[in-house]
Structure 1
Amino acid sequence: MPAAGPPYREPVTAQNPLPAGLGRPGPLGRLGRRLRRRETLADLALWAFTSYPLPTLHEVPLWLRAVAVPLLALATWLSRRAPLAATAIPAALGLAATPELFTSTFTPALAALSFLLGRRTQDVRRSLAAAGLLCAVGLVLALTLPGADLWNWFTLVTTVLFAAVLPWLLGRFRRQQYELQGAGWELAARMEREQQLVAERARLRERSRIAGDMHDSLGHDLSLLAVRAAALQVAPGMDDAARASAAELRQAAADATERLRQIIGLLRQETTATTAETVPDLVARTAASGVRITLHQHDADDAPTAPPPPLVAHAVHRVVQEAVTNAAKHAPGAAITVELNRHRDAMDVTVRDTGPNPAADRTPGPGSGTGLISLDERVRLAGGTFRARKTDDGFEVTAHLPFAAAPLPAAPAPPDTAPSRSREHLARARRRVRRGIANAIWIPAAATAVLAVLMYGFQLYTSHRSVLPERTYEQLRTDAPATDVLPRLPAYEFDDGRPDGAPPDPPGVDRCRFYRTATFDNSPLYRLCFTDGRLTHKALLPMEERGR
Structure 2
Amino acid sequence: MWPVRRIVGESLLAVVFGLLGAGIEALGHGGAVRLVAIGLAAGVLSPLRRVLPATVLLVTAAGSVTFDGLAPLVLVVAWSAGRRIDGVGKAMGVFGLVYVMILGLGILHELPHFSLSYLAFGILGLLVTIVVPGLAGRYWSQRRALTDTLREYNAQLLRERAMIAGQARMRERQRIAQDMHDSLGHQLALIAVHTGALEVDRELTGRQREAVGVLREASVAAMHELREVVGVLRDGTQVPGRGEAAPDPAGAGAVDATVSSRGVAGIDGLVAASRGAGVTVELRGSGEARPLSPTGDHAAYRIVQEGLTNAHKHAPGAPITVELRYEPDSLVVEVANGPAHGAADPGRSVVSGGQGLTGLGERTRLLGGMVYAGPTADGGFRLAGVLPYTSPEGGGPGPVRGVAATTFVDPTGDFREQSPVGLLGEGDPVIDGIGLPRELVKAMGTNTRRSGIAIGCGVAAVFALLLVIAVVVGGILLVGETDKAMIEPKQYDAVKVGQSEAEVRRKLPDGDSLLTRDLDKGAPPVPAGAKCLSLNSAEFGSSWSTTPVFRFCFKDGELIEKKSFEVRN
TM-score by length of 1: 0.42
Q: Which has the larger radius of gyration?
A: 2
